[in-house]
Homo-oligomer: A and B are copies of this chain.
Amino acid sequence: MKEELKQVLGNGKVKDNISELQQHSEDESSHDAALPDVVCYPASTEEVQTIVRIASKHETPIVSFGIGSGLEGQAIPVCGGITIDFSNMNQLIDFSPEDMTVTVAPGMTRTELNRTLNKQGLHFPIDPGADASIGGMTATNASGTTAVKYGSMRDQLLDMEVVLMDGRVIHTGSHAKKSSSGYHLTGLFCGSEGTLGMITEITLQVHGIPEAMEGARCTFSTIDECTHAAYQVLLHDISIHRMELVDKASIKQVNGFGGYDFPEENSLFLECAGAKAEVEAQIEKLHEIMQDAGCKQWDAASTTEERNHLWKARHEMSTAFRHQHGKGYFGTDICVPMSKLPEMVHFARELLDESGLAGGILGHVGDGNFHTLIAYDRDSSQEVKAAGHLNEQLVYRAIDLKGTCTGEHGVGLGKKKYQYREHGEALSVMKEMKYLLDPKQLLNPAKIFE
C-alpha cells in the first residue's frame, strides 16, 4: 500500500519514518498515542480522492490531521492506517470581500486566515484558543470565547467540498447566506470528525472588524452571582462579544503562572464590539447590570493594551494548569441550559474538592458551557481514576439536566461512551448514516461510535 501511495503521489508526499509517525500519533488531549502506518500530504482534492481509492482497495483506515490541537483524540489513528495531513492544502481558494465570504483549503489556520481578511477590514471571529486549522475546527464544530455572539463553527459555514469514501466529490451548500434548498448536509458534515468524508474546501461567512472594542473585568463574592449577572446580560439582548466566567482558583493559578495581579475573586471577563457609540452605550449598560447584580469591583479595559492583557490571561489559564512539571492535564467540556450553570459549577467545585485534585473552572458563560481544568499525577492510578470519575459525574449530571457531554471539544475517543446516554435512539440513526456513507468503516474508525 505504501509503495502504491508513493508511486501515485510521489515520494515527497508519502512519509513513514518514525518521527513523522510520532508527530501524527497524538493531539493535545490526554488520550494514549497511536502510530499511523503512513502519513500522506496531498496537495489537491484529486490527490485526496486517490488516497481514498487506495485505502478502500486495501481496506485501510484513513484519519484526517489538521495541526493536532484537538482535545478529544479525534486525530489519533487508534487503528493505524493512513493519516492525511492537510498542511500542504492550506491555500486561499476564493476571497470575496464584497460578499464577506472566503473559501479555504482545510489546512489553513485561523490566524493565517485572519491575516488575509484583516487587510480588507474583515475578520473570522471564531477563537478556540489554539491556532487550529479551519478543517479541524469544522470537523469538530469548534467554538470558544466569541460563540456567545457568533455561534459555533457550524454557524459560519456556507459550503464544503467533501470527498466521500466511494470517491464522489460533493458540495454541501452554496455561497448564499441562507437557503431552504435540499437537506442540510453542511450541518451534518460539520462535527462529523472525519467519520463521514474528507473535507477538502470550506466556505465561510466572515464579518466586518468592529470599529471599536471595549472590555471589562468584574468580581463577585460567589459564582452564583457571576452566572446571575451573565443571565441578565442575555435577557437584555445585549449583543455581547465575549463573556467568560473565571473562578477564584483559575485567577490564582494564572496570576502565579503569568505574573498577573488580578484580584483573586470569582470574575466575569466581558467584551463588547461594534460601532464606537454602540459599544460605549453597551459598556455603560453592562456596568449598570453588573452593579445591580452585586458586582464588587468593575475594572474597565478600554485600551487595546488592557484588552489584550485580559484575553491573554484568559487564554493562558489552561496552559497555567497544563504546564505543571510532571503533571497530567485534563479539561471537561459540558454545556447545560443557562439556569443550570450555577448548580453545575457548584457541583464541579464540590467534585474537585472531594477528589483532592488541583483545578479551576472557566466558562463560556453566555452559552452554558464550562471547563473544569484538572492537573493530576500521571503516575498515580488513584489521581488518574479520580480525574476520570470527576469527568463522568459531570457528564452524567449535564445529560440529566438536558445538556450535552461536549460543548465544543467533540466526541472523539473520550465522549463516545456517553453517546447513547445523550442521544438515545437517535444514535442508531447516526450509525445508519455512518454505515451508509462508509460501509467498510474506514473513515476515522473507533471515533464517535463505540
Residues of A within 8 A of B (CB): 96, 98-101, 121, 140-143, 147, 151-152, 154-155, 164, 168-172, 174-188, 190-192, 196, 207-211, 231, 234-239, 273-275, 277-278, 280-282, 284-285, 335-340, 367-369, 398-399, 402-411, 415, 418-419, 422-430, 432-434, 436-437, 448
Contacts and interface: CB of A to CB of B under 8 A. Distances in A.
Contacts of A239: 239, 274, 278
Contacts of A422: 174, 181-182
A348 to B, nearest CB: 16
Contact of A337 (B96, B151, B190): B96
8 contacts: A99-B338, A168-B425, A170-B423, A176-B336, A181-B411, A207-B237, A208-B236, A433-B433
A404 B179 CA distance: 6
A281 B235 CA distance: 20
B236 A369 contact: no
A334 B137 CA distance: 30
Contact of A404 (B155, B174, B432): B174
Nearest to A147: B178
Contacts of A192: 183
A181 B415 contact: yes
A436 B433 contact: yes
A139 to B, nearest CB: 10
A186 B101 CA distance: 25
Given A98-B339, A208-B235, 12 more contacts: A99-B340, A170-B423, A176-B404, A179-B335, A181-B410, A181-B422, A182-B411, A183-B434, A207-B237, A238-B274, A277-B285, A278-B282
A94 B256 CA distance: 46
A205 to B, nearest CB: 10
For this chain, the copies found in one complex come to 2
A429 B411 CA distance: 24
Contacts of A448: 182
A143 to B, nearest CB: 6
Nearest to A427: B182
B282 A180 contact: no
Given A237-B208, A237-B274, A426 B182 contact: yes
Contact of A170 (B179, B369, B425, B436): B425
Contacts of A285: 275, 277-278
Contact of A430 (B171, B185, B211, B424): B185
Contact of A151 (B155, B273, B335, B424): B155
Nearest to A164: B429
A192 B164 CA distance: 22
Nearest to A285: B275
B339 A178 contact: no
Given A422-B174, A430-B185, A180 B277 contact: no
Contacts of A405: 181
Contacts of A186: 187
A180 B172 contact: no
A10 to B, nearest CB: 28
A85 B3 CA distance: 61
A450 to B, nearest CB: 13
A239 B175 CA distance: 21
